Amino acid sequence: MDLARILRFAAVITLLLALQALFASGLVNPYYIRVLILCCFSVMLAVSLNIIIGYAGQFSIGHAGFYAVGAYTAGAFTVYAGPPIRQALPLDRLPGWLEGTAFLMAAICVGTLFAALAGLAVGLPSLRLRGDYLAIATLGFGEMIRVVIQNVEAVGGPRGFSGIPIYSSFFWASLFAVAIVWIARNLARSRHGRALLAIREDETAASVLGVNVTKHKVAAFVLSSALAGCAGALYAHYEGYLEPRSFDFIRSIEIIIMVVIGGMGSTTGAVIAAVILTLIPELLRGLAEYRMVIYSALLVLFMLVRPQGLFGTWELSWETLRTRWEKRLERP
Amino acid sequence: MNALEIRGLTKRFGGLVAVDSLDLVLPEGGLVGLIGPNGAGKTTVFNLVSGLYPPDAGSILVRDHDLAGHPPHEVARHGIARTFQNIRLFGSLTALDNVRVGAHMVCGGSYLSAILGGRQSRDLDRRTREQAMQVLHDIGIERYANELASSLPYGVQRKLEIARALASSPSVLLLDEPACGMNPQETAELRDLVSRLLQEWKLSILLIEHDMRFVMGICQTIYVLDYGKTIACGPPEAIRNDPAVIEAYLGDAVH
């Protein structure tokens, strides 16, 4: 770890903590805070889905399913494993916030792990084949997960899963949103990320260059699912209540629309589209029932006018800004 | 020592025998041509050697390893690189990134280090970038480094595909019709490039080509395929006058 990175990391933490302190002070309308936190969840989901759709070019339409796996397993962990752990360990000596944070971190690990396992179980058989098998398999998986949840009484069944302790806050949601963006960006800049782009462009050419196509596709899919699970765990401990309906097919489609409108393959685009598409229904509160109509119309419009999405595969970074600036200087 | 040795290689597509017990030897540092009329099975041979198709019989020996039936990424690990007849670049990546994908195997670095942006990963990334620039420089197309591959002129795309293959540090290079669609000047440049690959890069090259002057001019040995069978094999002069070859290309009417 070099100094510059530590400083950057510290700056992000300080900024988010400062915002958290401001929001906790009660000076900001809680509604705005809530919308901001929902934006963080959308960003996590869109950026993680972009890894498999945008980078690897494999269409997954069950992202909400992995989000649900993370949310429900993490929620079940704190609800059912929390009390025995509290009895076994002298946690009450810790300050309350620290105890909550410890449980949140453990729950995130649980949610991430289970979503990753689900990703492996779905991805391994379907990604060995070429073509749209993944889309069909993930579609089935997403619906299956929802049906399973609806029929498990322990997590509330169709009534929803309530009583999950609230440990998450703006700070954690935004910190993990930043972390997921950072992970996606690191991946894109590494040889593993480039291998994914190569697979998206031409699987055959990638394989003869020594890229193990199946391994990279499965790894990307597991990573993408794991990050969705992480977002789910945070969501469960932010909302305190989960209902199967919020993880249905429509939710998956919403996340796909964010990725497509942002530009498949651009993390920058995924972030911005996630924020915009979370704000639109809030701004158009009166038209809330027409949300999916507006989304669909937007999608049709984008496919006609700008099929590559807002940003195409362009990324915001110092490097791209510098090359753009240099090009401008070169021009007479 | 042979760089590549093919013994009894056979591939059937249903009732059609695309490649019929082919025996071929590519000596270390050698340049061997593979010619024949359209549909003779030349590209099938390349697809078999690079692992895209599993062969029905036969062996593909590279340094005492039999690669027959291995998947393409494992074949690549044994130092076999190839280009494609219909250029298959990664269109929406830059020329530099195309070459960097070529360096994928030799680059190293774990997945965890990559997603956490670890120092190891960033150092390797910088080194790969420099190596890729060097390859582009050696092939003479470094000024296109930041252009999208799909936007490059045709001749440059052909060279870029070779550069990408070179980045994987191969010992054997399979070139599938590299001169296809090139004008005479580009063909001359390509001929220089191929001889440099042999001398400076110490590669062994197996070449498919339709341009007879090109093949006859540079290959040491030529194999002629027709309907999957080897109908002739030898130095260019012998091939030129071989009655079976003339018949395959021009038909019986010559007699």
Can you give the CATH number for the domain in which A47 is found?
1.10.3470
pLDDT for the residue numbered A1:
57
Residue B217 to residues A95, B3, B181, B185: CA-CA distances in angstroms? 83, 22, 18, 15
What does CATH list as the number for B2-79+170-254?
3.40.50.300
Q: Please answer yes or no on whether A191 and B100 come within 8 Å at the CB atom.
A: yes
**Contact A133/A235 with Cβ under 8 angstroms?**
no
Please give chain A's pLDDT, 332 residues, in tens.
Answer: 578 888 888 999 999 999 998 988 888 898 999 999 999 999 999 999 999 999 999 999 999 999 999 999 999 999 999 888 888 887 777 777 788 899 999 999 999 999 999 999 999 988 887 778 888 889 999 999 999 999 998 988 889 999 999 999 999 999 999 999 999 999 998 899 999 999 999 999 999 999 999 999 999 999 999 999 999 999 999 999 999 988 988 899 999 999 999 988 899 999 999 999 999 888 877 777 777 788 788 888 888 888 888 887 778 877 777 777 777 777 65
pLDDT for the residue numbered B251:
66
**Contact A209/B97 with Cβ under 8 angstroms?**
no
For the whole model, what pTM was predicted? 0.91
Does an H or E element contain B33, and which? Answer: strand B31-35
Residues of chain B with Cβ-Cβ distance to A206 below 8 Å are 90, 101
Does an H or E element contain B57, and which? Answer: strand B57-62
Q: How far is B193 from chain A (nearest CA, A)?
A: 21
Q: Please answer yes or no on whether B73 and A212 come within 8 Å at the CB atom.
A: yes
Q: Please answer yes or no on whether A183 and B115 come within 8 Å at the CB atom.
A: yes
Q: What Rg, from alpha-carbon coordinates, does chain A have?
A: 20
Q: Closest residue of A to B98, CA-based? A: A198
Residues of chain B with Cβ-Cβ distance to A208 below 8 Å are 50-52, 72-73, 75-76, 81-82
Q: Helix (H) and strand (E) counts for chain A?
A: 14, 2
Residues, chain A, total?
332
A191, A212, A266, A326: which to substitute to probe chain B, counting the most B Cβ within 10 Å? A191
Domain ranges of chain B: 2-79+170-254, 91-156
Residues of chain A with Cβ-Cβ distance to B162 below 8 Å are none
Q: Locate tokens 């890069």: which residue?
A: B201
The list of chain B residues with pLDDT below 70 reads: 250-255
pLDDT for the residue numbered B217:
87
Q: Which domain holds residue A221?
A: 3-330
Write down the mean pLDDT value for chain B: 89
The candidate with the shortest Cα–Cα distance to B74, out of B46, B94, B49, B45, is B49
Q: Closest residue of A to B166, CA-based? A: A209
Q: Which amino acid is at A169?
A: S
Task: State how many domains chain A has.
Answer: 1
pLDDT for the residue numbered B255:
45
Strands (E), chain A: 161-162, 241-242
Q: Does B132 touch chain A (CB under 8 A)?
A: no
The candidate with the shortest Cα–Cα distance to A126, out of A109, A105, A113, A140, is A140
B48, B82, B98, B115: which to substitute to probe chain A, counting the most A Cβ within 10 Å? B115
pLDDT for the residue numbered A241:
93
Task: Specify the DSSP class assigned to residue A286.
Answer: G
Q: CA–CA separation, A137 vs A134, rounded Å?
A: 5
